[in-house]
A and B are shown apart, each in its own frame.
Chain A
């Protein structure tokens, strides 16, 4: 009996140690049971939503291909995929086009935000350090990012499935939702988020007290969504729906509260400095996703520079895209423009926007953050931030809105504020043509290479609504992108955009 007992004890020891041996805690990931416990988890999860947004924007330089290449403003010497995009030949499947047709990365943003919103209460319950205020601000940011992702997708694909819960494991298919409903959701979410977001972080804002996640304000400058950010996106959402009164009101909030949000209008020098506005992170990046060089976040790809820069700015013989000389002169058609102007002989007065103007390929070099903001052409490693909106965008968007709703004077004032800052004379109808055209032209000059042009054109031609190809394209819903087949096959409830069938 005793012997049996010993044998049993020994045997049970063997099995206990077996169990220990077989429970290997992976060092390569965080398991479900070790997540949503502490405020480090909530911080990691929230930063994850930001990180996924950044990678959705930067993947294959999508933000600029959607926004700038598709406008057709740039000429494309070599890349077949960019050529196809520039001439709306979106069914072609060259190069990166299949990736651009997939919304997978945007739904990763949405899924991670949904998970965050569903699980964040667990951290609140388990970690005493995690304050209610911290949670409210976190939730507002997750909401903001989810709404922003939907807005971005609606502009590209039109109707998209509206998925507001994580549905992990089951992943129930949903059909595409009418875009007006999606945008209504976006607006409602952004308003909610705006209420809870602070003007600045770790800066003793009423709505975010103390050091956010124990980091000082310098950590958070320009890198998180703020109250003004939410209003800026709201303004864009309204303008996209041609709801110009609301667009004007939302943009006004941003302009009026610029100082509170740490925002100012950039000098031309700062805007085009390799070490200026686009470099690193700063509060003027109203919504921006930085590649902070000192955080080892620089990269070869995911920057406008990869598409636009070439010799003599960097070692690359031919740029992926460029604006031909004639077109530059057509766009920058006023003297004294600090961004670009040509003298009477046709020689450039400044080189901040374009280098090699008289060469075969004028290089669009407004954004040129090479490594740590240097001019060394030998290594095509960039650190510029992806900018979604900044204060100038709000001025011009409000100007556009006011112009449409008939408040000409207000619109001209706003336009002139920007023009003045760029060394231009005040707007005059005689010289600059119709106000609304002048505003869109100013937007083009000011926001060139920031992923705005295509959406600006869509809004402009919705207003013009003439017999132009672009107006027709918009009427036929050809402004949207086709949905990639890999997306269509994974959810049978989805249908291809009619125009691309």
Chain B
């Protein structure tokens, strides 16, 4: 291993006066000494954005803290609902994201103080009818730490740093490291707190009259008597203009949107001597959403102990426990999707506040207890025997989620609903490392051998029931007393309407690795890592996977610039290597198998026939054959770090190519053999890109410093190969074509509207058709890109991309005396959005009262969003579905720039002097987040886009927040 290069948000003492306790006294944690010398030069890049500055944001989760801050990490915050899951992608995606399940497969590993965290498993989607959200808490489990306890967050992207984690790290690693305790015999107490608010957004509401006028345009154009045909029905709620519920004042937003209160408090006590240190902290963060009465509340307790009873023994232990509660949104779509039941959608929620309040009052009789308990911890022993060190670690990460839910009958056509969810994810790990290093003059050798064993278990119990006897018994679906004869039978709900699920899946891994590195004269380094990994989710015939990594480094500063004072830093580094990707699902390991699954659309879970369990091939999931190899990435990374004393300029640049090969992909199945899908190995995807961070002082004098910094991640992907030599394949309405991006849209191209039937082109007496239907006046002019005189999906064109080509942030900090001012801009450039919400609005003929999960009207249906004038008035009754989503009519530029955070702070150090002790410190700040967005996008916030690049309009807005806080140190 050459050089543990990484970009990091580091705690530092730039201007926010945080002392790094490790500076003066050698740490008792000797681990840094176990690293190759070359690593000691780890540059503190982008240190403008210190964790301290980051912590001024009223955020609550890892993803929010690092958004835009780490070059190469793209965070997609697709909902502003506090505490929900947020996706992260390190250096792009290596496989297409076609469903919610694929997101789980693409997330980086998060390591908290050496414990690789386990997340949720997507297998629960198997029992769900709709891919809206997973059952369970859906809480953001990466809210499990308190930012004030953290010393650094860094991303590991290139193989020389990832290799020690093995296949777990194939999507990158985010390492979170806690603060070290002091060893100088002092006690340190820190208290950090803030209080703030989320600001209610201003929206334009509309009512039935508006919607009616909108629809009338189409009736006026395409009908003579207000009916397109004899069976045509105009929705009742729009028919009666005297109906005050729909035609009256549209003031629902007063009840839906509100200002929210946020606060956070964290106290930490730490102390120690060179032979023993401890740390204990407690924290609580409360975040309120601005819509739908959503709230998020987390508690965190952390205990850390480090003992060095003998010179040769070092013992460390950590416990980090969190509890997170979330009050979830009241979206109808989420509720119906979870219940699997679509009630009559003929009458949407009325825009009138009084009517809406009546509904909310009934809703308030429901019960939704949604929380997670998270615990991670480890014991680590290190034995030192001269140049040989042996380290062994036992680590556990456990998280459990509960959701007890009840909806009263008054909000669902007189039928109530209850569900209980309990699930846990558990990772147990034993990790051993043996290290030997020796320095001989200019030569430095370093050897490390490691082995780890890992046991992962994912489990959930879920039951739900409809139509309980009354609305008062809200819990305990099943008899829980094992001594009762009725044990596990339903009590207040009819037995025939109770559904019970138990599911569990395991994944074990065994890893071995060895690495050797040689450094000459603290300038030239070469390192080789060899790994041998096995996963229980790999097929028995290819269970083990071998992967090498070679890294080279040159520290030019140490080499020939030693005496050059102008250059503070100059490194060049390169590495190439391979890393294996493990499978998330255990069914891949089995090859062809049998399941108890004969469900159908809208009734996905049918495990039997005539009350007897069935065993059939997994026709809905897809065919899985034998001889599936390990998938792997071949990476190459080249980078340099350059620093100048002058103006404290630091630049770090990395260019990479990552070819991910032999990946399993869900292909369309052989329909003639009953399979919806089939899984084949052989998809190769290339990711290329550049990560850049640069910072320097624009103004620098005795009084004032203005430091500016830029973080950039450029990424592009390309499909290199598909299984079986295929050139292109269509999956879930996306076209994957070799040579094109894997996150591209595939859309018809609009060129206006046919005004008359005569305008429709005719070739040899045959009018242009759309899927066999002759186009007429009022239909869209779709480009016949293959010129065969018919519009079919062959005419759809690959265009645009979901992930931004460039994302990052621009940060500024100005310090004047004891004041500091921070401005943080976040941007995404080169991405597109399909505005599905507008497509659905215009496609009202098909959507009105359709029993479809995507035609559910939330209360926010009565909010004016988007630009109605952008779209032509096609004939919405036409069989060609003129307002279908997959056309570039709804494709828009999704680039944006946001002023994400602005803070101003004052340090009272000079005023209070030594009154708070020699380490005393008192800092007060004011922060504002999400202040403005610059974007051409005509919809709402361009961040509120799902994994398909669609803005469906269902997610809650990301609020603007303000906070006043202090950081006190004693």
Chain A interface (Cβ within 8 Å of chain B)? 18, 21-24, 26-32, 35, 41, 43-45, 47-52, 54-56, 58-60, 75-80, 83-84, 89, 91-96, 99, 102-105, 107-112, 115, 161, 163, 166-169, 171, 173-174, 219-220, 223-224, 281, 290, 292-302, 315-318, 371-372, 378-381, 482, 485-487, 489-491, 500-501
Closest chain B CB from A85 CB (angstroms):
11
- Check B606 for interface membership: any CB of A closer than 8 A: yes
Whether the pair B617, A112 counts as a contact (CB closer than 8 A) is yes
**A22-B510, A486-B668, A491-B671 known; A91 and B600 CB under 8 Å?**
no
What residues of chain A lie closer than 8 Å to B494, measured between beta carbons?
Answer: 371-372
Stretch touching chain A among B565-573, B583-591, B689-697:
B583-591
What residues of chain B lie closer than 8 Å to A41, measured between beta carbons?
Answer: 615
**A24-B508, A77-B233, A490-B669 known; A168 and B592 CB under 8 Å?**
yes
Whether the pair A31, B590 counts as a contact (CB closer than 8 A) is yes
Q: Which B residue's beta carbon lies closest to that of A169?
A: B625
Whether the pair A54, B598 counts as a contact (CB closer than 8 A) is yes
Q: Which A residue's beta carbon lies closest to that of B878?
A: A92
**A78-B850, A486-B671 known; A295 and B610 CB under 8 Å?**
yes
Compute how far the CA of A216 lies from the CA of B346 in the bound complex, rounded to whole angstroms: 47
- Check B845 for interface membership: any CB of A closer than 8 A: yes
Q: CB within 8 A of A27: which of B232, B453, B504, B771? A: B504
Between A and B, 17 residue pairs with Cβ closer than 8 Å are A27-B504, A30-B594, A35-B615, A47-B612, A48-B615, A56-B600, A80-B846, A91-B771, A96-B601, A104-B676, A108-B619, A111-B617, A112-B617, A297-B611, A299-B603, A378-B415, A485-B792
Closest chain A CB from B463 CB (angstroms):
12
Whether the pair B772, A30 counts as a contact (CB closer than 8 A) is no
- Check B470 for interface membership: any CB of A closer than 8 A: no
Closest chain A CB from B822 CB (angstroms):
50
* Highest count of chain B CB atoms <10 Å: which of A51, A54, A380, A486: A51
- Check B595 for interface membership: any CB of A closer than 8 A: yes
Compute how far the CA of A371 lies from the CA of B498 in the bound complex, rounded to whole angstroms: 12
Whether the pair B598, A55 counts as a contact (CB closer than 8 A) is yes
Compute how far the CA of A500 lies from the CA of B232 in the bound complex, rounded to whole angstroms: 26
Whether the pair B496, A104 counts as a contact (CB closer than 8 A) is no
Closest chain B CB from A163 CB (angstroms):
6
* Highest count of chain A CB atoms <10 Å: which of B590, B592, B594: B594
What residues of chain B lie closer than 8 Å to A50, measured between beta carbons?
Answer: 609-610, 614
Whether the pair A315, B414 counts as a contact (CB closer than 8 A) is yes
What residues of chain A lie closer than 8 Å to B792, measured between beta carbons?
Answer: 485
What residues of chain B lie closer than 8 Å to A486, measured between beta carbons?
Answer: 668, 671, 730
Closest chain B CB from A224 CB (angstroms):
8
What residues of chain B lie closer than 8 Å to A487, measured between beta carbons?
Answer: 671-672
- Check B499 for interface membership: any CB of A closer than 8 A: yes
Whether the pair B611, A58 counts as a contact (CB closer than 8 A) is no
Q: Which B residue's beta carbon lies closest to that of A78?
A: B849
Whether the pair B610, A500 counts as a contact (CB closer than 8 A) is no
What residues of chain B lie closer than 8 Å to A83, measured between beta carbons?
Answer: 231
Total residue contacts A-B, CB cutoff 8 A? 292
**Chain B 114-152 interface mask (CB, 8 Å, partner A; 1/0):** 000000000100000000000000000000000000000
Chain B residues 658 to 708 lying within 8 A of chain A, measured CB to CB, are: 668-676
Chain B residues 897 to 952 lying within 8 A of chain A, measured CB to CB, are: none
Whether the pair B540, A23 counts as a contact (CB closer than 8 A) is yes
Whether the pair A317, B672 counts as a contact (CB closer than 8 A) is no
**Chain B 476-518 interface mask (CB, 8 Å, partner A; 1/0):** 0000000000000000001111110001111110100000000
Compute how far the CA of A296 lies from the CA of B612 in the bound complex, rounded to whole angstroms: 11
Closest chain A CB from B191 CB (angstroms):
46
What residues of chain B lie closer than 8 Å to A44, measured between beta carbons?
Answer: 594, 596, 612-615
Chain B residues 619 to 638 lying within 8 A of chain A, measured CB to CB, are: 619, 623, 625-626
Compute how far the CA of A78 lies from the CA of B598 in the bound complex, rounded to whole angstroms: 30
Whether the pair A112, B510 counts as a contact (CB closer than 8 A) is no
Interface size on B, residues (CB 8 A): 96
- Check B361 for interface membership: any CB of A closer than 8 A: no
Chain B interface (Cβ within 8 Å of chain A)? 123, 230-233, 236, 340-344, 346-347, 409, 413-415, 453, 455, 466-467, 494-499, 503-508, 510, 534-537, 540, 543, 586-587, 589-596, 598-603, 606, 608-619, 623, 625-626, 668-676, 730, 771-773, 792-793, 845-846, 848-850, 852, 879-881
Q: Which A residue's beta carbon lies closest to that of B232?
A: A77
Q: Which A residue's beta carbon lies closest to that of B344?
A: A316
Whether the pair A219, B414 counts as a contact (CB closer than 8 A) is no
**A22-B535, A47-B612, A48-B614 known; A315 and B540 CB under 8 Å?**
no
Compute how far the CA of A18 lies from the CA of B543 in the bound complex, rounded to whole angstroms: 11
Known: A30-B595, A107-B671. 7 other contacts (CB 8 A): A47-B610, A78-B233, A95-B852, A174-B672, A298-B496, A316-B344, A379-B415
**A30-B595, A104-B676 known; A219 and B610 CB under 8 Å?**
yes
Closest chain A CB from B530 CB (angstroms):
18
Q: CB within 8 A of A47: which of B413, B608, B880? A: B608
Whether the pair A89, B773 counts as a contact (CB closer than 8 A) is yes
Q: Which B residue's beta carbon lies closest to that of A171?
A: B670
Whether the pair A491, B672 counts as a contact (CB closer than 8 A) is yes
Compute how far the CA of A78 lies from the CA of B342 in the bound complex, rounded to whole angstroms: 16
Q: Which A residue's beta carbon lies closest to that of B668?
A: A490
**A26-B505, A51-B608 known; A21 and B602 CB under 8 Å?**
no
What residues of chain A lie closer than 8 Å to B846, measured between beta carbons?
Answer: 80, 94-95
Whether the pair A99, B601 counts as a contact (CB closer than 8 A) is yes
What residues of chain B lie closer than 8 Å to A29, measured between beta carbons?
Answer: 587, 590, 593-595, 618
What residues of chain B lie closer than 8 Å to A293, measured between beta carbons?
Answer: 496
Compute how far the CA of A56 lies from the CA of B342 in the bound complex, rounded to whole angstroms: 22
What residues of chain A lie closer than 8 Å to B773, measured between beta carbons?
Answer: 89, 91-92
Q: CB within 8 A of B673: which of A111, A220, A290, A500? A: A111
Compute how far the CA of A168 lies from the CA of B626 in the bound complex, rounded to whole angstroms: 11
**A47-B609, A80-B845, A173-B672 known; A489 and B615 CB under 8 Å?**
no
Q: Which B residue's beta carbon lies closest to that of A32?
A: B592
What residues of chain B lie closer than 8 Å to A168, measured between beta carbons?
Answer: 592
Compute how far the CA of A76 lies from the CA of B229 in the bound complex, rounded to whole angstroms: 11
Q: Which A residue's beta carbon lies closest to that of B499?
A: A296
Compute how far the CA of A392 lies from the CA of B149 in the bound complex, rounded to whole angstroms: 78
Whether the pair B231, A76 counts as a contact (CB closer than 8 A) is yes
Whether the pair A59, B601 counts as a contact (CB closer than 8 A) is yes
Q: Which B residue's beta carbon lies closest to that of A321?
A: B231
**A302-B602, A490-B670 known; A112 and B611 CB under 8 Å?**
no
Whether the pair A102, B598 counts as a contact (CB closer than 8 A) is no
* Highest count of chain B CB atoms <10 Å: which of A35, A59, A300: A300
Whether the pair A28, B612 counts as a contact (CB closer than 8 A) is no
What residues of chain A lie closer than 8 Å to B590, measured between beta carbons?
Answer: 26, 29, 31-32
Q: Which A residue's beta carbon lies closest to that of B770?
A: A91
**A50-B610, A315-B413 known; A171 and B673 CB under 8 Å?**
yes
Compute how far the CA of A92 lies from the CA of B614 in the bound complex, rounded to whole angstroms: 36
Compute how far the CA of A110 lies from the CA of B600 in the bound complex, rounded to whole angstroms: 17
What residues of chain A lie closer than 8 Å to B674, measured between beta carbons?
Answer: 52, 104-105, 107-112
Q: Which B residue's beta carbon lies closest to that of A26?
A: B586
What residues of chain A lie closer than 8 Å to B613, measured between beta carbons?
Answer: 44, 47
Report the 3 A-B pairs with minimum CB-CB distance, sorted nearest first.
A108-B674, A51-B598, A44-B615
Whether the pair B612, A300 counts as a contact (CB closer than 8 A) is no
* Highest count of chain A CB atoms <10 Å: which of B497, B614, B626, B880: B614
Compute how far the CA of A210 lies from the CA of B730 in the bound complex, rounded to whole angstroms: 52
* Highest count of chain B CB atoms <10 Å: which of A26, A95, A293: A26
